[in-house]
């Protein structure tokens, strides 16, 4: 939506007790937590959080050539860094996919943050770079994975059913 100039999106969800199959960024894991206004982030929250880590900028054209179920977006940030998001939409049990990202104008070490989960439908075990949002709303991802580029080409190991945010040098 941002590619088409939309400045904001409202995600609807209720501050209620978590229910199987619900699609809300926050919910209470028990009746006691609901009564105490203690909410836990859900998988969609992590997708929104990863998108926010891209930051403001200008979308760049991206070409994807693969038989895997992958979507890619690229943004040149207001800090002049290029960030690429790769979303691999196959079942997590499908294994690892190696993605080659080519940008002839870049060289050096790219930084990769991974959004992972146990399955595409899991309501637990979702994290960004191994980190989750704690009960107080704090989030500190682990150190990004460094990927050394060679002649503007970066090979990103991407787990099926996951996403990655790559910041090019």
Report residue 34's pLDDT band, with 50, 70 and 90 as the boundaries: very high
Question: Is the pLDDT at 31 greater than 90, yes or no?
Answer: yes
Q: What is the pLDDT of residues 135-154, one digit of tens each?
A: 889 999 999 999 998 888 88
Q: What is the pLDDT of residues 80-115, one digit of tens each?
A: 999 999 998 887 767 778 788 787 777 889 999 999
Classify 42 in phi/psi space as left (phi over 0), alpha (psi -120 to 50) or beta: beta
Token code pair at residue 42: 């859900």
Give me the domains of the chain, ranges plus CATH numbers. Answer: 9-41 (no CATH), 43-167 (2.60.40.1180)
SS3 per residue for 101-137: EECCCCCCEEEEEEEECCCCCCCCCCEECCECCCCCC
């Amino acid at each position: 939506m941002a590619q088409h100039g939309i400045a904001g999106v409202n995600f609807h969800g209720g501050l209620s007790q978590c229910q199987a199959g619900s699609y809300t960024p926050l919910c209470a894991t028990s009746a006691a937590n609901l009564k105490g206004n203690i909410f836990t982030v859900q998988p969609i929250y992590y997708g929104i959080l990863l998108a926010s880590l891209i930051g403001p900028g200008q979308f760049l054209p991206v070409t994807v050539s693969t038989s895997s179920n992958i979507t890619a977006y690229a943004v040149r940030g207001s800090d002049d860094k290029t960030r690429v998001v790769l979303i691999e939409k196959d079942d997590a049990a499908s294994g690892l996919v190696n993605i080659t990202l080519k940008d002839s104008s870049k060289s050096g070490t790219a930084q990769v943050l991974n959004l992972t989960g146990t399955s595409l439908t899991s309501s637990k075990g979702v994290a960004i770079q191994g980190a989750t949002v704690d009960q107080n709303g704090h989030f500190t991802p682990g150190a990004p994975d460094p990927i050394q580029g060679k002649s503007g080409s970066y090979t990103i190991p991407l787990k099926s059913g996951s996403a990655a945010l790559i910041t090019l040098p």
